[in-house]
Amino acid sequence: MSLPLAHGFDSTLLHYVLVPAARALARNKMRSALTMLGIFISVAAVIAMVAVGDGASASVKATLRARAAGRSGIWTPGGVAIARAGPGTGALAHATLTGSS
């Protein structure tokens, strides 16, 4: 007796797929173990690379934020006008950077 499953599959078809797969896994235990180990290592490597990339991105953003604290820049045709405001700069200090600077 077969039980209907979703999307037109029935348990008989599932039986014809899963039983031979289970037998193949049981016969080739070392191959199955090495395949699983390879998959685990690959997934761990991807997770580690994503974490390293996120950490590097956060580090760069933090460095840029720290360097840009108290500064504002306006892009002009002649270069970048940088205004600094904060302790030790007086009221406001200006500098203009051009391509030749």
Domain limits, the chain: 1-69, 70-101
Query: Mean pLDDT, to the nearest integer, of 90-101?
Result: 49
Interaxial angle between packed helices 11-27 and 29-68, expressed in degrees from 0 to 180 and rounded to the nearest 10:
100
| Structure tokens that stand for 29 in this block | 């235990």
Name residue, tokens 């070392």: 30
Query: Is residue 91 over pLDDT 50?
Result: no
Separation CA 15–CA 34 (nearest Å) = 26
Higher pLDDT, 101 or 11: 11
In the chain, the amino acid numbered 68 is A
Query: Is residue 64 over pLDDT 90?
Result: no
Model confidence pLDDT, tens digit, residues 22-59: 999 899 999 999 999 999 999 999 999 999 999 999 99
Cβ contact 94:82 at 8 Å = yes
DSSP letters spanning 63-81: HHHHHHTTEEEEEETTEEE
Mean pLDDT over each residue of the chain, to the nearest integer? 76
Higher pLDDT, 23 or 14: 23
Cβ contact 11:2 at 8 Å = yes
